Amino acid sequence: MTAPLLSVEGLHVRFQIGAGMFAKGRTLRAVSDVSLTMDGGECLGIVGESGCGKSTLARAILGFVKPAQGRVLWRGRDVGELDAAGLREFRRSVQPVFQNPLGSLNPRMTVGDIIAEPLETLRPDIAPARRRPLAIDWLEKLGLTADMADRYPSEFSGGQAQRIAIARAMIAEPDLLICDEAVSALDVSVKAQIVNLLIDLQRETGISILFISHDLAIVRQIATHVMVMYLGCLMEDAPAPALFGRQYHPYTQALLSAVPVPDPDIEQTRRHLLLKDDVPSPLDPPSGCVFRTRCPVAKPNCILDVPAVTEADDARRVACHYSGIRLEEVG
């Protein structure tokens, strides 16, 4: 049996806040017991409010932060145990695209050099003379022009800069692209263009995409599978058609109810499920179910018992003691 492209098993990420010589500090639980799998050609959307652990999960997968527990497997191999050659191949195979493209592009280098730079370390098999032509090829594939290779990042708009960042990520021919809020800083029309560009890239190259966003409308457009996180924990995940068709977790239901519908007549008659209170601090998360302080269907056992992640017959996983209750029917 072939191993999945990417597996995350029981991942925990914690940070010590305020620790010093004479202070113990406090523990921030950024990610708590999250597991996922991805296969080739899949687009996994990870959604949730700000501070829910989406970006920290991505950074742990990339190896930018060290997990306190759990492991990341790439094609069945533990990333934490890879030797230098294995780690270099992992770096080539898994490329990030960040929220702020201008912050990830060296302002002192031309765009052509920026795009070609990863080839020096990640693709030493490609001769130096071939690097610039490949960079120009990728510029043109992503809707820019060859003459832009001699310009600097500050001369480009946000949408153009993000195309350059994607070209830089794609030039090493990765198998997985991790897009961390890659379109959230862009205008609406430009955001749609970048998402369509990623969809086209996936169709043409077969690349897998891990797409992190708080915008469910965008995730609905691109994702084949969706995972919902809250306060560092998995709430629900399912194939995209199943999750957008029906939501089992109260938090997912509330998130989907906030997504506007283009038809004004339908939008005016919809009931928006507003959650009470604010998101608790990850320094002091609620006991039991972390969502219970905002959940309309929480009961006394939610205070004491952490809900197990259970599987449904539509390839869905959900972590809720009372999954499937429709919030429209409550109160």
**Number of domain units in the chain:** 1
pLDDT digits (tens, 9 = 90+) for 155-168: 999 999 999 999 99
Q: Is residue 285 part of a domain?
A: yes
In a domain, 258, yes or no: yes
Quick one: pLDDT band at residue 116, thresholds 50, 70, 90?
Answer: very high
In a domain, 105, yes or no: no
Residue 16, in any domain of the structure = no
Q: What pLDDT does residue 188 have?
A: 85
Residue 260 lies in a domain: yes
Predicted TM-score (pTM) of this structure: 0.91
Residues 6+ apart with CB under 8 A from 203: none
Percentage of the chain modeled with pLDDT above 70: 92
pLDDT tens for each residue of 227-284: 999 999 999 999 999 999 999 999 999 998 877 666 555 555 556 677 878 889 988 9
303 is a domain residue: yes
Please check whether residue 16 is in contact with residue 27, taking contact to mean a CB–CB distance below 8 angstroms.
yes
Residue 301 in domain:
yes
Confidence band for 50, pLDDT divided at 50, 70 and 90: confident
Domain membership of residue 295 (yes or no) is yes
Among 205, 233, 218, 228, CA closest to 142: 205
Give 174's pLDDT tier (boundaries 50, 70, 90).
Answer: very high
Residue 251 is part of which domain span? 244-331
CA dist 134 and 31 (Å) reads: 38
Q: For the residues 168-187, what does the mean pLDDT come to?
A: 92
Q: Report the amino acid identity of residue 40.
A: G
Confidence grade of residue 122 (pLDDT, cut at 50, 70, 90): very high
State pLDDT tens for residues 68-108. Answer: 999 999 999 999 999 999 999 999 999 999 988 888 899 99
**The predicted structure's pLDDT at residue 304:** 93
- Per the model's pLDDT, the better-predicted residue between 234 and 315 turns out to be 234
